[in-house]
C-alpha cells in the first residue's frame, strides 16, 4: 500500500518535557487511522507537527513522499483539517464561509462553486446556506466546520474530535460523511474520545501515551492484546460478600465486581465461561434475573494499556 | 481575491460604524462651522456713561460733553445717589462723570480743576478715563498758548481723529479657521474609524483557529498578510478621501487654496499613522469586545488632550505636555499652522514639515513594534 505519511523518530520537547518521544509510524492511502490517547498524550502535538504548525527537535515527516515544511504549499493543497474548535467567520453566511476556505486552495470560481455545493451536500447543510453561524445549533456548526475543512476535496484529512458536544443526528451525519470521504479516496486521521466511533469507522488505531505509541493495529488486533476475553453481567439481588469471594476463585476469572444489584465478572481467555457460571448459580441455588456476555471493547483495551479512562 | 472579497464582506457588515463616525464628524464639524469666529474682526467699542453736569452753560464744558457723547453711549438715569449706585452695581453704566460748577472757566484759566469720576473698574470705564485724559491733555496744550474760541475746532480735530487699522494679511482667516476646525475634528473620526474597523476586521481574520486554517492552507502566509495590509490601507485611504470630499461640501472653495490642500495632505499622513496604530492595537488586543473601549479611550482621549475639541491654549500646561506623546497633537498643530500660513517659504514650512516627519516617525515606531510582536509570537508558537 502507498504511504501517504511517513514519520520517523519524531521528537518534540517543551523545555524539559518530551511531548513526543521518538515517534515513528506510517499512514497508508485510503485508510482511516484513529489516533487515541488520554489528554496530554501527544495527539494534538503530533498533528500540529505533521501540519508544520509546530517545530520539532528531531525526526522527519514526509507527506506524499516529500518532506513537509511550512512552505510546502503543493503538499498543503492536498491537506484538509477539521479542528475541534469551530473556526468560521461570524460575519459570513454558511455558503460564504465555505467559499472563503475553499478559495484559499481553489482559485477557479466555477470549480469552487461545484466543490462548495458538494461539501454542503456531504454535511447536509442544504437548507442553511444563507444562515449565519450564530443562527446554527452546535451540531450544525460542527458540520459547517467540517465543510470548511474538506470543501477543496483534499487527499489527506485530519479530524480532531469533530463530534464533541454534537447531537446524535449530527454525529451520524458526520460519521457517514467521513465514510463517504474515504470512499472517495481520502486518507483520514481521526482523533476522538468516543471509542464506539473508532470501532465504527477506523481501519487502524494507534494509542498514544506520554508521547509514545503504546499500541497500534486494527481493532481486532488491539483487542487481542488484552487479557480480557469476556465480561459477564448478571442482574442479581442480595448477593453476600462470602459468595462474591467464592466466585473470584472460579476458573479464568480475573475480577468480580458487585454494585447496585449488578454483578460483573471479567474472564481471561478460556472456553464456556457463561455455561459454567450458570451451572455454578444453579448448583449454589443463586437466583438471578438476567445474564448476558460481552466481548471486550476498545475501551477495555485502552484502560488496560494506559491505566486511564480515555477522558482522564 | 478571496481574502479581499471576504475583507469587503466583513467591512460591509461593519459599515454602520463607519457611517456613525462620519455622521459625528459631519454633525459636529458642521455645527462648529456655523459658529462665527470674530478673532480677526475689529469693532469700535463705546463705553456707557452718565454725566452730571453742574456747569452746563460754559462753552468749554459744552464742547467736552459733546466729545463724550460722540464717543460713548450716554445712559439716562435719575440723579439720585441710590440710582447711581444701583446702576454701577448692576453694570448698566460703566462710568459716572460729575462736572463741578465753573469747571470750564477754571480749565481755561489753567487752574487745573478736577471732575469727579465714579466707575465700575472695568475695561470700559478705563477706556472712558483714557478718553477724558486725552481730551484734557490736548486742551491744556492749546489753552496754554491762547484762550481763543478757535481752539475748540483744533482740539476736536485732534481728539476725534480715528485710528486707521489696515489689514496687511490677505488670508481669509475666518474661512481658514473653519478648515482648521473641520480637520481638527476629523482627528477623532479618522482615528476612531480606522482603529475600530481595522481592529474589528483583523480580529476576525486573526482568530486563532481561522489563522491556523489559513497557515495550513496552500496560500503563502506573507501573501496573505500583504493582502490584509493592502485591503486595510485601502479602506483607510477611502475613509480619508471621503472626509476630504465632505470638507469640500461643508467648507467650499477655500479647500482649493494652498492651505486647504495642505490640510488634506496633513490628514493623509495622519491617516497613514492611524493605520499603523490600528495594526499595532489589533496585534496587542486579543479580546474583540475590548475594541470599543480602546477606541473610546484612544480617539476621544487624544482628541481632548491634543486640542481637537478645545483649543490647546485653554488646556493646562501639564496636559499640553502630555499631548506631545500623541500623534494627534502634531496633526492638529499642523492644521493650525497650515491655515495661518501666508508666506510659503521653506523657513515657514519647516515647522509644518517637522510635524509631518514626527507623524511619519510615529508610524515607523508602530510598524517596528508590530514586526517585533509578530516575530515574537511566531517564535513562541
pLDDT tens digits for B142-168?
Answer: 888 877 778 888 888 887 776 565 656
For chain A, 312 residues long, give each residue's pLDDT as a single digit of tens.
788 999 999 998 887 788 888 899 999 998 999 988 888 888 888 998 998 888 888 999 999 999 988 888 889 989 999 988 888 998 899 999 999 999 989 888 889 999 999 999 888 889 999 999 999 988 889 889 999 998 999 999 999 888 877 788 888 888 888 888 888 889 999 988 788 888 888 999 998 888 888 888 888 888 777 777 788 899 988 888 888 888 888 888 888 889 888 999 888 776 778 888 888 888 888 888 899 888 777 777 777 777 665 544
| B380 Cβ under 8 Å from any chain A Cβ | no
Q: Does A168 map to a domain?
A: yes
Reported confidence tier of residue B211, pLDDT bands at 50, 70, 90: confident
pLDDT value at residue B330: 92
Q: Which of A86, A87, A90 to mutate against chain B (most B CBs within 10 Å)?
A: A87
C-beta atoms of A104 and B219 within 8 A: yes
Positive or negative, the CA dihedral B269, B275, B281, B283 is negative
DSSP B171: S
Separation between Cα atoms, residue A205 and residue A33, nearest integer Å: 6
Q: Please tell me the total count of domains within chain A.
A: 2
Reported confidence tier of residue B32, pLDDT bands at 50, 70, 90: low
Tell me, yes or no, whether A172 and A277 share the same domain.
no
Tell me, yes or no, whether A211 and A232 share the same domain.
no
- For A65, residues 6+ apart whose C-beta sits below 8 A from its C-beta are A3, A6
Q: Does A147 map to a domain?
A: yes
Indicate which CATH number applies to the domain containing A148. Answer: 3.40.50.300
Q: Which of A66, A83, A116, A160 to mutate against chain B (most B CBs within 10 Å)?
A: A83
| A109 Cβ under 8 Å from any chain B Cβ | no
Judged against a pLDDT cut of 90, whether residue B23 lies above it is answered with no
| B222 Cβ under 8 Å from any chain A Cβ | no
| B39 Cβ under 8 Å from any chain A Cβ | no
pLDDT value at residue A128: 92
Judged against a pLDDT cut of 80, whether residue B287 lies above it is answered with no
pLDDT value at residue B380: 67
Rounded to a whole number of angstroms, the distance from the CA of A46 to the nearest CA of chain B is 15
From chain A, the residues in CB contact with B217 under 8 A are: 76, 101, 104-105
C-beta atoms of A70 and B212 within 8 A: no
Separation between Cα atoms, residue B199 and residue B242, nearest integer Å: 20
C-beta atoms of B218 and A148 within 8 A: no
From chain B, the residues in CB contact with A88 under 8 A are: 210
C-beta atoms of B218 and A99 within 8 A: no
Q: Say if residues B267 and B240 touch (Cβ distance below 8 Å).
A: yes
Q: Which residue of B has its CA nearest to A97?
A: B6
| A103 Cβ under 8 Å from any chain B Cβ | yes
Judged against a pLDDT cut of 60, whether residue B295 lies above it is answered with yes
Joined together, the cell numbers standing for residue B359 give 507623524
Tell me, yes or no, whether A244 and A169 share the same domain.
no
Strand positions, DSSP E, A143-222: 156-160, 187-191, 204-209, 212-217
| B207 Cβ under 8 Å from any chain A Cβ | yes
Tell me, yes or no, whether A219 and A232 share the same domain.
no
Separation between Cα atoms, residue A254 and residue A231, nearest integer Å: 10
Q: Does A259 map to a domain?
A: yes
Tell me, yes or no, whether A188 and A231 share the same domain.
no
Residue of higher predicted confidence among B200 and A1: B200
Separation between Cα atoms, residue B373 and residue B376, nearest integer Å: 5
C-beta atoms of B218 and A73 within 8 A: yes
| A53 Cβ under 8 Å from any chain B Cβ | yes
C-beta atoms of A101 and B217 within 8 A: yes
Separation between Cα atoms, residue B48 and residue B124, nearest integer Å: 8
Separation between Cα atoms, residue A59 and residue B60, nearest integer Å: 116
SS3 label, residue A2 = coil
Tell me, yes or no, whether A286 and A160 share the same domain.
no
C-beta atoms of B9 and A105 within 8 A: no
Tell me, yes or no, whether A159 and A71 share the same domain.
yes
Tell me, yes or no, whether A57 and A94 share the same domain.
yes
pLDDT value at residue A116: 93
| A148 Cβ under 8 Å from any chain B Cβ | yes
Mean pLDDT of the region B216-225: 83
Q: Which residue of A has its CA nearest to B209?
A: A87
Residues 195-224 of A with CB under 8 A from B: none
Separation between Cα atoms, residue A307 and residue A301, nearest integer Å: 10
pLDDT value at residue A9: 92
| B6 Cβ under 8 Å from any chain A Cβ | yes
Q: Does A302 map to a domain?
A: no
Q: Any idea which of A266-270, B220-224, B329-333 has the lowest mean pLDDT?
A: A266-270
Separation between Cα atoms, residue B38 and residue B344, nearest integer Å: 25
Q: Does A176 map to a domain?
A: yes
Residue of higher predicted confidence among B373 and A97: A97
pLDDT value at residue A312: 45
Judged against a pLDDT cut of 50, whether residue B54 lies above it is answered with yes
Residue extents of the structural domains in chain B: 7-39+172-380, 48-159
* Percentage of chain B exceeding pLDDT 90: 11
Rounded to a whole number of angstroms, the distance from the CA of A56 to the nearest CA of chain B is 11
| B209 Cβ under 8 Å from any chain A Cβ | yes
Q: Beta strand B48-53 with A290-294: parallel, antiparallel or unpaired?
A: unpaired
Reported confidence tier of residue B354, pLDDT bands at 50, 70, 90: very high
Indicate which CATH number applies to the domain containing A242. Answer: 3.30.70
| B10 Cβ under 8 Å from any chain A Cβ | yes
Mean pLDDT of the region B57-67: 88
pLDDT value at residue A137: 87
A54, A79, A83 ranked by CB distance to B209: nearest: A83
pLDDT value at residue B170: 63
What per-residue string of b and e applies to B80-115 under the rule 16 or more CB within 10 Å gives b? eeeebeebbeeeebbbbbbbeeebbbbbbeeeebeb
Judged against a pLDDT cut of 80, whether residue B381 lies above it is answered with no
| B212 Cβ under 8 Å from any chain A Cβ | yes
Residue of higher predicted confidence among A272 and B353: B353
Q: Where in the sequence is the domain holding A269, given as residue range(s)? A: 227-295
Write the class of the CATH domain B48-159. alpha beta
Tell me, yes or no, whether A74 and A107 share the same domain.
yes
Q: CB pairs below 8 Å between A and B: how many?
A: 73
Judged against a pLDDT cut of 80, whether residue B358 lies above it is answered with yes
Q: How high does pLDDT run on average in chain B?
A: 83
Q: Does A303 map to a domain?
A: no
Q: Say if residues A246 and A206 touch (Cβ distance below 8 Å).
A: no
pLDDT value at residue B34: 61
B212, B216, B381 ranked by CB distance to A79: nearest: B216
Across-strand partners of A27?
Answer: A5
Amino acid at each position: 500500500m502507498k504511504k501517504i505519511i511517513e514519520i520517523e523518530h519524531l521528537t518534540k520537547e517543551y523545555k524539559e518535557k518530551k511531548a513526543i518521544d521518538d515517534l515513528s509510524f506510517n499512514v497508508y492511502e485510503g485508510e482511516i487511522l484513529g489516533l487515541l490517547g488520554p489528554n496530554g498524550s501527544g495527539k494534538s502535538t503530533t498533528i500540529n507537527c505533521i501540519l508544520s504548525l509546530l517545530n520539532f527537535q528531531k525526526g522527519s515527516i514526509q507527506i506524499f513522499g516529500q518532506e513537509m515544511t511550512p512552505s510546502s504549499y503543493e503538499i498543503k493543497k492536498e491537506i484538509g483539517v477539521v479542528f475541534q474548535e469551530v473556526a468560521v467567520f461570524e460575519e459570513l453566511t454558511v455558503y460564504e464561509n465555505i467559499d472563503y476556505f475553499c478559495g484559499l486552495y481553489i482559485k477557479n470560481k466555477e470549480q469552487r462553486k461545484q466543490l462548495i455545493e458538494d461539501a454542503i451536500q456531504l454535511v447536509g447543510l442544504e437548507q442553511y446556506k444563507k444562515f449565519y453561524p450564530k443562527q446554527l445549533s452546535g451540531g450544525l456548526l460542527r458540520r459547517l466546520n467540517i465543510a470548511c475543512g474538506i470543501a477543496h476535496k483534499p487527499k489527506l484529512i485530519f479530524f480532531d474530535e469533530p463530534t464533541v458536544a454534537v447531537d446524535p443526528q449530527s454525529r451520524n451525519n458526520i460519521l457517514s460523511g467521513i465514510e463517504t470521504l474515504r470512499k472517495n479516496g481520502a486518507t483520514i486521521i481521526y482523533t476522538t474520545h468516543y471509542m464506539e466511533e473508532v470501532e465504527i469507522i477506523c481501519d487502524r488505531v494507534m494509542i498514544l501515551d506520554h508521547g509514545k505509541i503504546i499500541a497500534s493495529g486494527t481493532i481486532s488486533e488491539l483487542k487481542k492484546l488484552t487479557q480480557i476475553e469476556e465480561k459477564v453481567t448478571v442482574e442479581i439481588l442480595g448477593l453476600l460478600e462470602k459468595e462474591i469471594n467464592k466466585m473470584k476463585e472460579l476458573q479464568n476469572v480475573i475480577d468480580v465486581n458487585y454494585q447496585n444489584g449488578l454483578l460483573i465478572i471479567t474472564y481471561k481467555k478460556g472456553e464456556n465461561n457463561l455455561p459454567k457460571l450458570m451451572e455454578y448459580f444453579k448448583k449454589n441455588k443463586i437466583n438471578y434475573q438476567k445474564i448476558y456476555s460481552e466481548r471486550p471493547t476498545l475501551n477495555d483495551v485502552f484502560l488496560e494499556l494506559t491505566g486511564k479512562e480515555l477522558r482522564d | 481575491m478571496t481574502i479581499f472579497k471576504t475583507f469587503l464582506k466583513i467591512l460591509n457588515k461593519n459599515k454602520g460604524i463607519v457611517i456613525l463616525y462620519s455622521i459625528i464628524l459631519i454633525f459636529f464639524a458642521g455645527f462648529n462651522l456655523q459658529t462665527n469666529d470674530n478673532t480677526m474682526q475689529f469693532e469700535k467699542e463705546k463705553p456707557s456713561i452718565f454725566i452730571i453736569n453742574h456747569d452746563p452753560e460754559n462753552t468749554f464744558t459744552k464742547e467736552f460733553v459733546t466729545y463724550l457723547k460722540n464717543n460713548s453711549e450716554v445712559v439716562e438715569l435719575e440723579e439720585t445717589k441710590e440710582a447711581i449706585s444701583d446702576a454701577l452695581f448692576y453694570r448698566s453704566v460703566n462710568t459716572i462723570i460729575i462736572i463741578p460748577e465753573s469747571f470750564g472757566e477754571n480749565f481755561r484759566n489753567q487752574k487745573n480743576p478736577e471732575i469727579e469720576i465714579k466707575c465700575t473698574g472695568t475695561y470700559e470705564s478705563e477706556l472712558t478715563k483714557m478718553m477724558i485724559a486725552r481730551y484734557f491733555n490736548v486742551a491744556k496744550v492749546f489753552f496754554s498758548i491762547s484762550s481763543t474760541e478757535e481752539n475748540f475746532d483744533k482740539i476736536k480735530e485732534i481728539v476725534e481723529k480715528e485710528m486707521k487699522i489696515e489689514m496687511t494679511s490677505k488670508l481669509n482667516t475666518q474661512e481658514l479657521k473653519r478648515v482648521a476646525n473641520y480637520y481638527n475634528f476629523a482627528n477623532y473620526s479618522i482615528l476612531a474609524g480606522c482603529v475600530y474597523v481595522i481592529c474589528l476586521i483583523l480580529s476576525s481574520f486573526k482568530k486563532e483557529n481561522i489563522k491556523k486554517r489559513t497557515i495550513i492552507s496552500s496560500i503563502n502566509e506573507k501573501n496573505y498578510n500583504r493582502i490584509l495590509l493592502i485591503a486595510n490601507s485601502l479602506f483607510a485611504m477611502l475613509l480619508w478621501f471621503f472626509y476630504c470630499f465632505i470638507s469640500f461640501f461643508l467648507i467650499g472653495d477655500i479647500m482649493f487654496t494652498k492651505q486647504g490642500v495642505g490640510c488634506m495632505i496633513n490628514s493623509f499622513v495622519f491617516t497613514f499613522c492611524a493605520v499603523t496604530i490600528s495594526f499595532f492595537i489589533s496585534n496587542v488586543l486579543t479580546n474583540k469586545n475590548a475594541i470599543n473601549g480602546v477606541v473610546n479611550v484612544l480617539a476621544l482621549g487624544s482628541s481632548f488632550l491634543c486640542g481637537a475639541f478645545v483649543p490647546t491654549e485653554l488646556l493646562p500646561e501639564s496636559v499640553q505636555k502630555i499631548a506631545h506623546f500623541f500623534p494627534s497633537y502634531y496633526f492638529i498643530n499642523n492644521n493650525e499652522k497650515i491655515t495661518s500660513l501666508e508666506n510659503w517659504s521653506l523657513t515657514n514650512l519647516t515647522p509644518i514639515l517637522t510635524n509631518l516627519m514626527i507623524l511619519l516617525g510615529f508610524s515607523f515606531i508602530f510598524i517596528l513594534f508590530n514586526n517585533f510582536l509578530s516575530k515574537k509570537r511566531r517564535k513562541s508558537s
